[in-house]
Amino acid sequence: MRVDVLTIFPDMFPGPLGGGVVGRALEQGLLTVVAHDLRDYTDDRHRQVDDIPFGGGPGMVFKPEPLVRAVRAFRAEDPAARVILLSPQGRRFDQSVARELANESHLVLICGRYQGVDERAREEIGEELSIGDYVLSGGELAAMVVVETVARLVPGTLGSHESLSEETFTDRGFEPPLYTRPASFEGREVPEVLRSGHHAAIERWRREQSEERMRRRRPDMVRDGATAGGI
């Protein structure tokens, strides 16, 4: 998978994406992340990407020309590229959106900044994603969250100890409680069933625990049918 990121802070990348599972995927060439400077798509001496809003109001707005120029260049190079603006007004990003995006071969993630983005550029981009109902000062961290989440779903990116196929209970709820040695820690014991060697019983216990956790902690996710996809 290829991910192009359009930002006024290209030096922020790969940043935290350079470590862990995603860092390994980058090294192995399973994933390519390229950050592009939006200022490279300006045509004035000051490389200006923002301007004051028509009608007044605080802050600055991303000008349409550099963004539209960049988006058209990406689409001309690859008509299959999925171009997405990170914005708190977008469709909510979650695990099922991540699974959807993991099927794409090419994402172009556009990081907004300032008070916002000129409406005509937003229309040109067409798709917006929000990572949650809070406002970041820019889309860069949101783009990193999207890349991190999607990348680990791309086949081959997980190490054997992190195999997705072994995340069995994510089909039905949250991860069940996990334990490692010691069997007794400060008087708190590992549940007997996990030490029984009885695989069917272990599987049943884990399924019950993961479903119960989701019911108790996130009843909204049970109602919304999120368990169908798992998390």
Which residues in this chain contact ligand ADE in the complex, by CB under 6 A? Answer: 86-88, 112, 130-132, 134-136, 139, 142
**Alpha-helical segments (H) within 2-152:** 20-28, 64-77, 95-102, 119-125, 140-151
User: What does the alpha-carbon distance between residue 204 and residue 76 come to, in Å, rounded to a whole number?
Assistant: 52
What is the closest distance, in whole angstroms, from the C-beta atom of residue 229 to ligand ADE in the complex?
A: 21
**C-alpha count within 13 angstroms, C-beta hemisphere, residue 10:** 11
Asked whether 101 and 146 are in contact (CB, 8 A), the reply is yes
What is the closest distance, in whole angstroms, from the C-beta atom of residue 177 to ligand ADE in the complex?
A: 31
Angle at the Cα of 67 from the Cα atoms of 65 and 68, rounded to 5 degrees: 65
Coil, strand or helix: which one is 22? Answer: helix
Backbone angles phi, psi at 105, to 5 degrees: -95, -20
DSSP type of residue 191: P
What is the closest distance, in whole angstroms, from the C-beta atom of residue 163 to ligand ADE in the complex?
A: 30
User: What does the alpha-carbon distance between residue 201 and residue 204 come to, in Å, rounded to a whole number?
Assistant: 5
What is the closest distance, in whole angstroms, from the C-beta atom of residue 28 to ligand ADE in the complex?
A: 28
What is the closest distance, in whole angstroms, from the C-beta atom of residue 44 to ligand ADE in the complex?
A: 26
What is the closest distance, in whole angstroms, from the C-beta atom of residue 160 to ligand ADE in the complex?
A: 33
**C-alpha count within 13 angstroms, C-beta hemisphere, residue 145:** 18
Q: Which residue number, 86 or 214, has a Cβ lying nearer to ligand ADE? A: 86
Q: Which residue number, 113 or 152, has a Cβ lying nearer to ligand ADE? A: 113
CA-CA-CA-CA torsion sign (178, 192, 210, 101): positive
Q: Which residue number, 135 or 200, has a Cβ lying nearer to ligand ADE? A: 135
